[in-house]
Chains A and B, each alone.
Chain A
Amino acid sequence: VLTQSPGILSLSPGERATLSCRASQSVANNNLIWYQQKPGQAPRLLIYATSRRATDIPDRFSGSGSGTDFTLTISRLEPEDFGVYYCQQYGASSLTFGPGTRVEVK
């Protein structure tokens, strides 16, 4: 089970965002992934393998962590960064998502 906190993060453009994802058991091989979803759109891959940015993802997005505790950091929020962020883990026979963190304009 993945737990994300906070549920809602209210920030202004230019601020730093720190999103947490906690697993009930150690994530195998640090197989922790982050997605961004905007209203009416499909999710978009941001980070895989805990800290590797996907293609065309700006370097203001960074991932870190190990074991059961992981973090997505957005160094300076841009207007297009507001939306919902999901973490995800995968194993040999399943894949699970966290409940999401909504990043909204303060």
Chain B
Amino acid sequence: QFQVVQSGGEVKKPGASVKVSCNVSGYMLGLSWVRQAPGQGLEWMGWITPFNGNTKYAQKFQGRVTISADTSTNTVYMELTSLRSDDTAVYYCARGASWLDPWGQGTLVTVSS
């Protein structure tokens, strides 16, 4: 059964970077990252096709987000730079680049001085 397990929560200062990992079991054509600020809705950040490394990013995050994959360890990473307080959110990875299933458990990233 396909499983998605994310790294643990992070606390960062404004201006710093964060790198969240997502370990997957099983084959996947694509993997997406979605975030959810406290009490808010879902926001797509981007996706990757791990076998060739191709990525697509939401325009809002262009230049600040990098999604990468290490196929030897079945791990996908999402790095977000120049963090601001409004980047405080739960970050999810999920299999797929169309419909997303399954989802990881989420990683809370808190940005605070």
Contacts and interface: CB of A to CB of B under 8 A. Distances in A.
Interface in B77-101: 92, 94, 97-101
B59 to A, nearest CB: 8
A29 to B, nearest CB: 10
B110 interface: no
A42 B41 contact: no
Given A42-B92, A42-B106, A54 B42 contact: no
B50 interface: no
Given A33-B99, A42-B103, A99 B44 contact: no
B56 A45 contact: no
Contacts, number: 58
Tell me the dominant secondary structure on chain B's binding face: loop
B101 A31 contact: no
Contacts of B97: 90, 95
A4 to B, nearest CB: 9
Q: Specify which of A86, A88, A99, A100 lies most central, judged by the most chain B CB atoms within 10 Å of its CB.
A: A88
Nearest to A32: B99
A92 B43 CA distance: 17
**Interface range on chain B: under 10, 10 to 19, 20 to 34, or 35 or more?**
20 to 34
Given A42-B92, A42-B104, A95-B32, A100 B99 contact: no
Nearest to B104: A42
A95 B44 CA distance: 6
B101 A93 contact: no
Interface in A80-106: 86, 88, 90, 93-100
A95 B98 CA distance: 7
